[in-house]
């Protein structure tokens, strides 16, 4: 019976394309950014034939122009739970917990993404999904008012809810249902230029925090950004102004490296857009700032040991740039991270990063020590790409589109348990997922070579 259902990978791909088309129509500057990224990627591949050949071997060239992620902000536990069910239809599962309140952003988040290697290879689209923490609104009256406003809205269409239920009951969607699902699901992410609150209520929410106003004031959450992949984020950042795009001040994440690690992100500043407020005699014109375009460059996934070292270096950068003389952040970042190993062999040997192993044609029938097989060319290893987000980087992107006065530490503890309770699901551990991919690849490669099962230390 399952043969009649459309693959969740296919539905996810169709949804990502539809989302891109919608966002380009809503935010023309995003289309300009996509064109710039595409040109930079072409230039990089033309200048580096080895990279082009490697990406072709990994079947990455066709997916290079596909958006890698978007982001959405939700207001209630009920919205989060239904959103999780919607993403499940597309083979997207919650991975990781991100507490942005420590950076003055009153949300906590997860990333809905594919977790199976084949699904990631087919289409890696993911959505960084945040839930507003109403308890971080200091004014109890405003907190109650915001909760009441959110309780009155329904962000999913009746058609979307019906198809989610059908997918759960049937075990999938047929072709006609899948097409309808993409259309219906897209409505939740669409921009609505009319607020569902008055100008005075919006002002009170905005004064509490601009992001609170963005989440609470509209009948739907709207996608707040999409993100293509670039092969040279520094080049895109430098060229944005010449294309009429105002970039944020710095690139989030690690500095430029020969062997990229984790994730680097930048964006253009959020657009100031016209909206209409509810009023007794009709509507009142106003402005709202929320939506932007982002780009990303992904590197190898770090192990817990590697991530601890990364965090140690990042803390050193923060301390140095908080000094009275305030040295240049990007220069300090590069100087501090110069001590972080920047070749894949060292990253692998010191267990700082995760790698995928494969047997080579010359090694069939051989067995022996993993290091010896690698040295002899019988075993190959390639970096496993980081598929998740950096809390500091995510917060930095959020903060770049907020008033500096609204980036205070909210002083609240992380609440992963509360997030999981709201979602109704346990969050997947990203480190465990990378470890499983690495170990499974090594086991399969050694079996192909005729060797014994081995574990990566």
Parse the chain into domains and list their residue ranges: 2-252+272-293
Comparing 444 with 398, the larger pLDDT belongs to 444
Contact by Cβ (8 Å): 391, 107: no
| Residues pairing with 272 in the sheet | 289
Q: Give the model's pLDDT for residue 437.
A: 94
Q: In this predicted model, what pLDDT tens digit does every residue of 411-421 receive, in sequence order?
A: 555 688 999 99
Number of Cβ within a 10 Å radius of residue 249:
11
pLDDT at 281 over 50: yes
Q: Give the model's pLDDT for residue 96.
A: 94
3-state helix, strand and coil shares in percent for the chain, rounded to the nearest 5: 50, 20, 35
Which whole number is the average pLDDT over 220-228?
86
451 band by pLDDT with thresholds 50, 70 and 90? low
Q: In this predicted model, what pLDDT tens digit does every residue of 300-330 receive, in sequence order?
A: 999 999 999 999 998 888 888 876 666 788 8
Q: In this predicted model, what pLDDT tens digit does every residue of 19-54 receive, in sequence order?
A: 989 988 888 888 888 899 999 999 999 999 988 888
- Compute, in degrees rounded to 10, the torsion defined by CA atoms 274, 278, 283, 287: -20
On average, the pLDDT of the chain sits at 87
Contact by Cβ (8 Å): 270, 401: yes
Q: In this predicted model, what pLDDT tens digit does every residue of 88-129 receive, in sequence order?
A: 999 999 999 998 887 778 889 999 999 998 898 888 899 999
Comparing 353 with 281, the larger pLDDT belongs to 353
Domain 2-252+272-293 classification at class level: alpha beta
As a whole number of angstroms, the distance between CA 323 and CA 1 comes to 65
Q: Give the model's pLDDT for residue 405.
A: 45
Q: Give the model's pLDDT for residue 326.
A: 64
As a whole number of angstroms, the distance between CA 97 and CA 376 comes to 41
360 band by pLDDT with thresholds 50, 70 and 90? confident
Number of Cβ within a 10 Å radius of residue 175:
11
């Amino acid at each position: 019976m399952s043969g009649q259902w459309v693959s969740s990978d296919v539905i996810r791909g169709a949804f990502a394309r539809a989302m891109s088309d919608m966002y380009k129509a809503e935010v023309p500057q995003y289309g300009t950014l996509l064109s710039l990224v595409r040109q930079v990627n072409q230039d990089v591949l033309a200048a580096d034939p080895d990279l082009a050949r490697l990406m072709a071997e990994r079947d990455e060239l066709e997916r290079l122009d596909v958006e890698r992620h978007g982001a959405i902000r939700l207001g209630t536990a009920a919205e989060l739970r239904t959103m999780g069910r919607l993403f499940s239809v597309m083979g997207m599962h919650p991975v990781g917990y991100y507490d942005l309140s420590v950076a003055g952003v009153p949300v906590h988040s997860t990333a809905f993404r594919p977790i199976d290697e084949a699904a990631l290879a087919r289409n890696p689209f993911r959505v960084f999904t945040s839930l507003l923490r109403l308890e971080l609104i200091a004014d109890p009256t405003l907190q109650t008012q915001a909760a009441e406003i959110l309780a009155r809205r329904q962000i999913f269409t009746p058609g979307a809810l019906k198809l989610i239920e059908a997918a759960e009951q049937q075990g999938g969607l047929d072709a006609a249902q899948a097409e309808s699902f993409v259309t219906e699901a897209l409505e939740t992410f669409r921009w609505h230029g009319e607020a569902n609150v008055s100008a005075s209520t919006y002002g009170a929410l905005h004064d509490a925090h601009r992001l609170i106003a963005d989440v609470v004031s509209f009948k739907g959450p709207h996608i707040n950004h999409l993100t293509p992949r670039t092969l040279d984020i520094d080049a895109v950042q430098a060229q944005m102004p010449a294309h009429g795009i105002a970039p944020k001040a710095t690139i989030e994440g690690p500095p430029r490296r020969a062997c990229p690690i984790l994730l680097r992100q930048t964006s253009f500043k959020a657009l100031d857009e016209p909206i209409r407020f509810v009023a007794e005699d009709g509507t009142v014109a106003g402005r709202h700032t929320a939506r932007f375009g982002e780009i990303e460059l992904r590197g190898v996934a770090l192990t817990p040991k590697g991530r601890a070292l990364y965090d140690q270096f990042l803390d050193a950068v923060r301390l140095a740039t908080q000094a009275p003389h305030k040295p240049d952040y990007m220069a300090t970042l590069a100087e501090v991270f110069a001590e972080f190993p920047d070749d894949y062999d060292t990253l692998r040997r010191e267990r700082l990063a995760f790698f995928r192993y494969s047997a080579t044609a010359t090694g069939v029938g051989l067995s022996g020590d993993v290091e010896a097989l690698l040295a002899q060319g019988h075993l190959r290893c390639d970096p496993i790409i980081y598929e998740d987000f950096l809390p500091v980087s995510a917060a930095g992107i959020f903060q770049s589109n907020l008033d500096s006065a609204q980036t205070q530490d909210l002083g609240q503890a992380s609440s992963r348990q509360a997030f999981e309770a709201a979602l109704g699901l346990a969050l997947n551990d990203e480190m465990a997922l990378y470890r499983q991919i690495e170990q499974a690849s090594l086991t399969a490669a050694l079996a192909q070579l005729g060797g014994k099962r081995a574990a990566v230390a």
